[in-house]
A and B are shown apart, each in its own frame.
Chain A
C-alpha cells in the first residue's frame, strides 16, 4: 500500500475525498470516475487532482458537458459491471440529471427484481457560504432523500469524507453523496489505519445534557461552534452529526432527546419540506413524553437562494442556532 494510505497526515476535506477516491481506484479496477473537468483540471474543487494522471483517461473520464448524459451512461456502465463515481460540478447543475437519478438509477434494481444493482455514487458539492453566483449554493438533498431507491449521505469533515466516500463506493446501492463545499479547505488529522465508523449511522459529535442539536454537512461545524458558545452561557448542547439522510438513523437522536427534552434541527435547506420536518415528526412520535418544547427547525426561508451579498443573513449561523435554543428553553 502506498504511504499516502497508511501515514497519519493533515488533510483538507477536498484532499480527504481525493485520497479516498484514490484508494477506491486502487482497490477495485471496476471503479470509474466521471464528470466535467475532473481530469487535467482535477475538478473545480481539485477533489480529483492527479487521479487522471495516475489512473488514465479510461478510468478518470472528462465527460461531455451534459449531466443527464453523465448519469445515464453511469447507469449503463453499472449494468456492465462497473462502479461509476460521478461528479456533479455544483448542486445547481444536478437538475438536468434529475430524471436519470430519480426515474432510472433509483428504480432499476426493484424493476429488475433485484437481478441488477446500481452501485453508482453521485457526488454533489452542496450548500452556500462561498460568495458564489446563483445555482452554486443550493441544498437539494431533500429531493433525493424522498426518492425511494436512493441512499443519501452528507460528510461534515475531512476524516469523515475520506472514509465515507470509500464506503459509498463499496455500497451496492446508489448513493447521492453530498460534500459541504464551504468546508472543502477545512483541515483535520487523518489516520488511514483507523477503523471507520459505519456509513449509514448518525453520530454524537459532542455530548451535552440540556438540548440536542441535529445537523449534517456544513452545519455540523456551525452547531459545534454554537455549542461552545452556549457552554459559556451555561447551557450544555448535545450535537449529532446525522451523516445519513436516507436511511435516517434516528435512534441516537431519540436517545439524546429522551435525555435533554429539547431538539433543534439545523440545515441550510429550506425549513419548509426540509429534512428537519421528517425528523421533527419522528421525534414527536417516539419521544412525545420526553419533550419539554416542540422540536424547532433552523434552516432557510422559502425563497430562492439569494444574491451572495445577503447570504450571510440567509444562511443559518451560530446566532440563529442559539436563538432557537433560547426559544426552546423559553417555551
Chain B
C-alpha cells in the first residue's frame, strides 16, 4: 500500500474525526458535511491558504465550465462537455502534479487544464470549431484533448516509457472515464504499463455514466480492483473530496515517479450535468439520483470545512465569486473574438515534409475559394 506525501506549508489544527462513513473501500478525508476524517494510509495537512486555494480553484473551474455551457447555448461554441460535479477530482489530481509531470486528458478535463496553467480559451477552440486541438502539448505538459475513447491511455503509457528511459524525475497521469474502461486500448495500456513498469498513474473519473449507460453496463467488479489483475495497485478515492483526491494522487504520482510502476486511481464521482450540451440526461436517469449526489457537492463541502474551521470569512467567498465573474467575462470576450480559420489553413501542418498533392490541392482550392471572395 502506498503512503501519502505530507502537504507542503504550515500545519493547521483542524479537528479530525475517526474514520469516515465512506467505508474501507473509499478513501475520504473530508465528509460531505465538511469534517476532516482520518484514514490509515492517507492524510493531508495544508495551510489555510492552501485550503482556500483549492476552494478557489474549484469555484473558478465551475464558473469557467458554466461559461462554456452558456457560450454553447448562445451559439458561440458548437458543443461543450461540462465537468459540473467533477471539480474535486480534477482540481485535487491537478494540484497533485508537478510542472515536470505530464497529463493526458480526455475532453472533459477543463479543471485539470486550469491547474496545469493552460489558458481556458485554448480549450474552447475545439468546441467552437476553429481548430482540432490547437495548443502545443509540450508547453505545459498537457496533451491535446482526446475524443476517441481510451486512446490517450496508450499514449500516456508510451510517454511514461520514454520518461523512464531518459531517467526523468516525473510521472505521467492518464485520465479516462468509467465507460472508457471497456475499451481494448485502456486494457492494453494497463498491460503495457505493467510489463514495462512504466511511471504512469491511470486516473479514472468514475462519474457513474457513459452517456446513457450506467456502470453495470461496463463492469461488474469495482474498477480499482481491476488493477490487481494487471499486477499493480488500485485505489478508490472519494472523487468529490478534493483533499482526498489531492492526497491520493500525490501519493500515486510519487509511487510511479520513484520507480514502482503504474497505479490506478478510481475517483468515485458524479457527472451532475449532461454528457455534453447535446445530451438530455432526463431520458435515462432519475432526478432522485441527481439530488443524492448534489448533497455530496465538492464545493459545498470545502466551503463548510473552511467556515467551520474559520479558515475563510465572508469577504473571501465574495472575492472568489467576483474573481470567477472576471475570469468568465475574460474568457467570453476572448472566445467570441476567436477568428474563424481561413479555409486555406486546412492544408497547414498535415505533413512535416513537402507533399506534392498537398501543394497541388492548396493551389487549386485556393484559386477556387478566391473566386468567391466578395461574393460571400
**A binding-site residues for B, Cβ under 8 Å:** 36-37, 39-42, 44, 62-66, 68-69, 92-93, 95-96, 131-135, 272, 301-304, 306-311, 313-314, 319-320, 323
Contact = CB atoms under 8 A, between A and B. Distances in A.
A268 to B, nearest CB: 14
A65 B147 contact: no
B316 interface: no
Given A133-B127, A307-B126, A307-B132, A39 B183 contact: no
B122 to A, nearest CB: 14
**Main SS class of interface, A:** loop
Given A64-B182, A310-B343, 16 more contacts: A44-B278, A62-B217, A64-B217, A65-B213, A66-B183, A96-B183, A131-B78, A131-B129, A133-B79, A134-B132, A302-B361, A306-B343, A306-B346, A307-B341, A309-B130, A319-B372
Query: B interface, how many residues as a size bin?
Result: 35 or more
A307 B131 contact: yes
B350 A64 contact: no
Given A37-B212, A96-B184, A314-B343, A304 B350 contact: yes
Contacts of B185: 96
Contacts of B278: 44
B3 interface: no
Contacts of A63: 217
A229 B45 CA distance: 73
Nearest to A40: B284
B340 interface: yes
Contacts of B183: 65-66, 96
Nearest to B219: A64
Given A310-B341, A313-B343, A42 B283 contact: yes
A313 B212 CA distance: 34
Nearest to A43: B212
A320 B343 CA distance: 15
Contact of A92 (B148, B180, B342): B148
Contacts of A313: 343, 369
Given A65-B149, A131-B129, A302 B357 contact: yes
A62 B212 contact: yes
Contacts of A133: 78-79, 107, 126-127, 129, 147
26 contacts: A36-B211, A39-B212, A40-B284, A64-B179, A65-B182, A65-B183, A65-B210, A93-B148, A134-B126, A135-B148, A272-B357, A301-B361, A302-B350, A302-B361, A303-B346, A306-B346, A307-B125, A307-B126, A307-B129, A308-B78, A309-B129, A309-B130, A310-B340, A310-B345, A311-B129, A314-B343
A93 to B, nearest CB: 7
Nearest to B371: A323
B85 to A, nearest CB: 20
B329 interface: no
The 10 closest A-B pairs by CB, nearest first: A308-B129, A41-B212, A64-B182, A313-B343, A65-B179, A309-B129, A66-B182, A40-B284, A309-B340, A306-B346
A314 B283 CA distance: 35
Nearest to A68: B184
A131 B340 CA distance: 13
Contacts of A306: 132, 341, 343, 346
B218 interface: yes
Interface in B339-376: 340-343, 345-347, 350, 357-358, 361, 365, 368-369, 372
Contacts of A314: 343, 346
A64 B342 CA distance: 40
B79 A307 contact: no
B365 A301 contact: yes
B128 interface: yes
A66 B182 CA distance: 6
B78 A40 contact: no
A303 B347 contact: yes
Contacts of B217: 62-64
Contacts of B147: 92, 133-135
A188 to B, nearest CB: 25
Contacts of A134: 126, 132, 147
A304 B132 contact: yes
A210 to B, nearest CB: 22
Contacts of A272: 357
B92 to A, nearest CB: 25
Contact of A301 (B78, B149, B179, B347): B347
A63 B130 CA distance: 33
Contacts of A39: 212-213
Interface string B184-197: 11000000000000
A64 B358 contact: no
Contacts of A44: 211, 278
A174 B218 CA distance: 27
A132 B79 contact: yes
A67 B212 CA distance: 16
Interface string B116-130: 000000000111111
Given A65-B213, A133-B79, A135-B148, A323 B365 contact: no
A58 to B, nearest CB: 14
B283 A65 contact: no
A309 B130 CA distance: 6
A93 B183 CA distance: 12
Given A302-B358, A302-B361, A304-B132, A310 B180 contact: no
Contacts of B372: 319
A322 to B, nearest CB: 12
B129 A36 contact: no
A41 B185 CA distance: 25
A132 B78 CA distance: 7
